[in-house]
Structure 1
Amino acid sequence: MHLTKNANARFWVISAVLIVASIGLLNIFESGIYKLDKKSDEIYSQVKDEEKITLFVMLKNYDAPSQTLQARVWVTPPEEFGTNLGDSFQVKYDTRVQLSASKIEHNNSDNSWYWTATEFLRAIDIEIDASNYEVQSRSKDTWFPFDHYSADLSGLIQFCVTGCETDDLKDDNWKSLPIEVVPYTASMPGWSATFKANNFEGQTDKQTFTEGAQFASSIILYRTNLNIALTLLLGFIFLGGGFSMLLLFRSILMNHRPPTLSGLIWSGSTAFTMIQTRNVIPGDPRIGVKFDLFIFYPSLILCFVSGGMMFYHWISKDTWSREL
């Protein structure tokens, strides 16, 4: 069949439109947003920068099966309490930073939560276990790619403004400031996160923040829209592969098409391609999530069963040709 000149032009125009539309559609989906929720932003903005401590939090990795979040935090107090050197902060007073985490790497001389005056307060690496207090359901990786989680980060940051130069602990005067938790993540592949101010029992979010003795915050993690879209696309491809083998076997069974070696090769390559594609699903879900149980395994079974039945019809037919 030969295309006319107009039909050929329409073919390339339609192809270009589909390509541009696909690029535009994919760019609509976010590939990672790390933000502070609106209510928390309003609470934090009520205190001036020079009257609060900024705690920058960079999310590094989240492991859904073990529900552990790895992060790095930077403590940035006002200039009254030290000198900001970019990657570190040289404190003017004895400083203590205590964070709630299952693992902490303080990155100071004795790897403790205490820094003496003139020491450099560097980034602190932490690992937090997800509590999932902020999510009502789907807080297990079996719900991939619609699973979501929450982790809590709390603690205190204090400066000993007077008295710490002596051995007597009674004259130590520790000062606290409100602590603002700020997202500082550039990219954590496959995940987006929302940070929100939290509270201790008997307090509001605002009271916990403004009193400054301790801080409490929550980090809510969820899959990116792009991750979900690509997973659903792969799901349609898996189902399409399985049902195409089923329809081919139906045509052979009803004598609409002859059983051929090319059909067997097609079914085998489809099945093994599906297995290889399963290993590169965005987000690297473990084997056995609901996506597997409802989409991947049924599609794979359709391929193998249809291929096996086509093989039976191929070897049992009375006549055959050398053609594929």
Structure 2
Amino acid sequence: MKNNCTQATEFSLTGFSENLVTQVTLFLMFLLTYLATILGNLGMIVLITASPQLHSPMYYFLGNLAFVDLCSSTVITPKVLVYFVSEKKGIAYAGCVAQVFIFDLFGITECFLLATMAYDRYVAICHPLVYPLVMSPKCCFQLVTGSYLMGLTNGIGQTISMSDLSFCSSSVINLFFCDISSLISLSTSNTTLSHNILRTLALFFGMSSGLVILVSYMAIISAILSIRSANGKRKAFSTCTSHLTTVSIFYGTSLFMYLKPSSDSSKEDKWAALFYTVVTPMLNPLIYSLRNKDVKELLSSIYSHRSHSNQTKADITCHNGVSRGNKTNT
């Protein structure tokens, strides 16, 4: 098939709307969301790295989650911003391949990081006495490294899948980024192998990471229900609420995106993809900072310290001004 047609060297992205007002509005929304994503995730990484009280397995995993969210958003959003301000609404074939590889790499890495965080909460709540031994620095490093390796395997597999596709009759992607499922639907070649690779990797990685989360939380809920004290139940469950919220948003939008029939993307699919690729990376640091007691206390102490420092400087300045005034009067 490849020899009988002119292979596309560039893809056109349809985006959301051709209306100028809508495009300006969406550009501002994307820009503000991306800035919030950068500030939130970078801030979380810096806060965890610089604060000794946050040097624990849970925050080690959270720091890596913030890094993954930052990278996955950066793969998509800047290109979308360029799309809104440029006349040419396209992406080169090489750029599309790179986008598929990097986005799929970090997408599956996030799945396994969320599974790792669920396992961490399971050990902390169900086996607190052996927690320091089980979640040792070496084990945490291996779990995070394994998450990235799973993501890398998925990225390579999806890239190989894309390299076997031909695009002759159409090069218009009815989406705002290069998504492997949309590319498979667009291809004019035999897509059996590509479909099989996509389904196999999605089932293996999605089900394995999802199963870890499900089993971990079944054990966690069972352990929490066995606690007699209502206050104890509340404290135990509060350590999981941020992670549960993140898991619900991530898996909810991604399942809607990738379990749909293989067809051209509808408007609903675009908005689901928007939430999955752009909004979720912005929400994660907000969820953890607003619902996490340690992070809130640390941010509060930093704010109080700065306020105290500014007040001290103001008092010193005022005192020096009064002193100089007294000297002048003398």
Normalising by structure 1, what TM-score? Answer: 0.26
Greater share of helix residues, 1 or 2?
Answer: 2
User: Rg: which structure is higher?
Assistant: 1
Normalising by structure 2, what TM-score? Answer: 0.25
Q: Larger relative contact order (C-alpha < 8 A, sep ≥ 6)?
A: 2
